[in-house]
């Protein structure tokens, strides 16, 4: 079976973390810290798209990783419409949701950057995994304590599921 080279992109409020894997083996990782003044130059978080994408490409070049060798690009899932946990291929509807999201968050850039890079790499595909809007709440968990206010599901689903999987494998 052919080895898959995977680029993971995790945009955060003050940094962009990237990693490259060959199947499950991590071969490169970088935590790119952003100066507040750099990010303040952008009116909206989505406007940081080109800035962060350029930095990612530069870091891959410095690490001598051929971007064309990457076949799977996984971006941190952002504020898309509520969905079940899982792996989703980035699509046009998702891109539009992220570009026009009412909630601005750096995680919105993950799918946008992944999709753009995949469009320029022959055979590459872009995905998100367990975005922060994962909604698998039972109805009782939606009770907020006020009859007119329903609790919504926004949390670090990717982190929670990763910890659960790690613990399950350890026991």
CATH number at residue 105: 3.30.420.40
Question: 147 lies in a domain?
Answer: no
Question: 78 lies in a domain?
Answer: yes
Q: In which residue are the tokens 């079976």 written?
A: 1
Question: 170 lies in a domain?
Answer: no
Question: 85 lies in a domain?
Answer: yes
Question: 108 lies in a domain?
Answer: yes
Question: 37 lies in a domain?
Answer: yes
* Count of structural domains within the chain: 1
Question: 165 lies in a domain?
Answer: no
How far is residue 126's CA from residue 73's CA, in Å, rounded to a whole number? 5
pLDDT (tens, 9 = 90+) of the chain, 171 residues, equals 677 999 999 999 999 999 999 999 999 999 999 999 999 999 999 999 999 999 999 999 999 999 999 999 999 988 777 777 889 999 999 999 888 877 888 999 999 999 999 999 999 999 998 877 766 667 776 677 888 887 776 666 556 667 777 778 888
Q: What is the Cα Rg of the chain in Å?
A: 17
Burial 123-160 (b: 16+ CB within 10 A, else e): ebebbbbbbbbbeeeeeeeeeeeeeeeeeeeeeebbee
Helices (H), the chain: 36-40, 49-62, 92-99, 108-119, 157-170
């Amino acid at each position: 079976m052919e080895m898959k080279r995977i680029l993971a992109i995790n945009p955060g409020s003050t940094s962009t973390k990237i990693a490259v894997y060959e199947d499950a083996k991590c071969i490169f990782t970088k935590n790119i810290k952003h100066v507040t003044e750099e990010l303040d130059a952008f009116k909206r978080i989505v406007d940081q798209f080109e800035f962060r994408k350029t930095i990612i490409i530069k870091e891959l070049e410095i690490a001598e990783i051929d971007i064309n060798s990457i076949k799977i690009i996984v971006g941190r899932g952002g504020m898309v419409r509520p969905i079940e946990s899982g792996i989703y291929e980035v699509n046009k509807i998702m891109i539009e949701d992220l570009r026009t999201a009412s909630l601005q968050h750096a995680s919105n850039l993950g799918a946008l950057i992944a999709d753009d890079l995949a469009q320029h790499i022959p055979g590459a595909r872009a995905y998100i995994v367990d975005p922060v809007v994962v909604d698998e709440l039972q109805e009782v968990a939606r009770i907020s304590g006020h009859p007119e206010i329903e609790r919504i599901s926004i949390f670090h689903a990717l982190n929670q599921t990763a910890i659960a999987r790690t613990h399950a494998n350890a026991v």
